[in-house]
Amino acid sequence: MAKMTPRTLSGFMELLPGPQQQMERIMETLRETYTLYGFTPLDTPIIEASEVLLAKGGGETEKQIYRFQKGDSDLALRFDLTVPLAKYVALHYSDLSFPFRRYQIGKVYRGERAQRGRFREFYQADIDIIGDGKLDILSEAEIPSIIYQVFTRLGLQRFQIRVNNRKILNGFYASLGLTEKSQDIMRTVDKLDKIGAEKVSALLTGEEIGLTEAQAREILDFIAIRGTNAEVLSALAQYQGRSELFDAGLSELTTVVQYLSAFGVPEDHFAVDLTIARGLDYYTGTVYETAMLDHPEIGSICSGGRYDNLAEYYTDKQLPGVGISIGLTRLFYVLGEQKMLNEHLNTAPADVLILPMTEDLSPAIALATRLRAAGVRTQLYGEQKKFKAKMNYADKLGVPYVVFLGDDEIQAGLVACKDMVSGEQTKLDFNATLERIQAGLNERSQGKVIVE
Amino acid sequence: MAKMTPRTLSGFMELLPGPQQQMERIMETLRETYTLYGFTPLDTPIIEASEVLLAKGGGETEKQIYRFQKGDSDLALRFDLTVPLAKYVALHYSDLSFPFRRYQIGKVYRGERAQRGRFREFYQADIDIIGDGKLDILSEAEIPSIIYQVFTRLGLQRFQIRVNNRKILNGFYASLGLTEKSQDIMRTVDKLDKIGAEKVSALLTGEEIGLTEAQAREILDFIAIRGTNAEVLSALAQYQGRSELFDAGLSELTTVVQYLSAFGVPEDHFAVDLTIARGLDYYTGTVYETAMLDHPEIGSICSGGRYDNLAEYYTDKQLPGVGISIGLTRLFYVLGEQKMLNEHLNTAPADVLILPMTEDLSPAIALATRLRAAGVRTQLYGEQKKFKAKMNYADKLGVPYVVFLGDDEIQAGLVACKDMVSGEQTKLDFNATLERIQAGLNERSQGKVIVE
Please answer yes or no on whether B87 and A311 come within 8 Å at the CB atom. no
Partner residue facing A349 (CB), from B39, B98, B142: B39
Q: What is the mean pLDDT of chain B?
A: 94
Amino acid A58: pLDDT: 61
Partner residue facing B91 (CB), from A7, A48, A372: A7
User: What's the whole-number mean pLDDT along residues A34-54?
Assistant: 97
pLDDT tens, A354-379?
Answer: 999 999 999 999 999 999 999 999 99
- Name the residue among B440, B270, B237, B260 with its Cα closest to residue B348: B440
**Whole-angstrom distance, CA of residue A408 vs CA of residue B147:** 32
- Name the residue among B276, B51, B73, B277 with its Cα closest to residue B160: B276
- Contact list in B for residue A4 (CB cut-off 8 A) is 51-52, 55, 313-314
Q: What is the mean pLDDT of chain A?
A: 94
Give the residue with greater pLDDT, A170 vs B56. Answer: A170
A81 touches A106 (CB < 8 A): yes
Please answer yes or no on whether A121 and B96 come within 8 Å at the CB atom. no
Please answer yes or no on whether B107 and A70 come within 8 Å at the CB atom. no
Amino acid B280: pLDDT: 59
Interface test with B, best of A85, A329, A379, A438 (most B CBs within 10 A): A379
Amino acid B425: pLDDT: 97
- Contact list in A for residue B23 (CB cut-off 8 A) is 43
Please answer yes or no on whether B7 and A52 come within 8 Å at the CB atom. yes
Contacts of A41 (CB under 8 A, 6+ apart): A31, A34, A35, A102, A103, A104, B17, B20, B21, B24
Question: In whole angstroms, how far apart are CA B437 and each of B46, B79, B420?
Answer: 42, 45, 11
- Contact list in A for residue B74 (CB cut-off 8 A) is none
Please answer yes or no on whether B47 and A66 come within 8 Å at the CB atom. yes
Complex confidence, ipTM: 0.95
Please give the backbone phi and psi of residue B358, each rounded to the nearest 5 degrees, phi first. -120, 160
Residue-by-residue pLDDT tens, chain B, 452 positions: 679 999 999 999 999 999 999 999 999 999 999 999 999 999 999 999 999 999 887 666 778 999 999 989 999 999 999 999 999 999 999 999 999 999 999 999 999 887 888 899 999 999 999 999 999 999 999 999 999 999 999 999 999 999 999 999 999 999 999 989 888 888 888 888 788 889 999 999 999 899 999 999 999 999 889 999 999 999 999 999 999 999 999 999 999 999 999 999 999 999 999 988 776 578 999 999 999 999 988 889 999 999 999 999 999 999 999 999 999 999 999 999 999 999 999 999 999 999 999 999 999 999 999 999 999 999 999 999 999 999 999 999 999 999 999 999 999 999 999 999 999 999 999 999 999 999 999 998 889 999 98
B287 touches B278 (CB < 8 A): yes
- Name the residue among A352, A373, A374 with its Cα closest to residue A418: A352
Q: How many other C-beta atoms can be found within 10 angstroms of the C-beta atom of residue B274?
A: 21
pTM of the model: 0.96
Residue A279 reports pLDDT greater than 90: no
Strand arrangement, sheet containing A378-380: A378-380, A352-356, A401-405, A415-419, A425-428
Please answer yes or no on whether A314 and B68 come within 8 Å at the CB atom. no
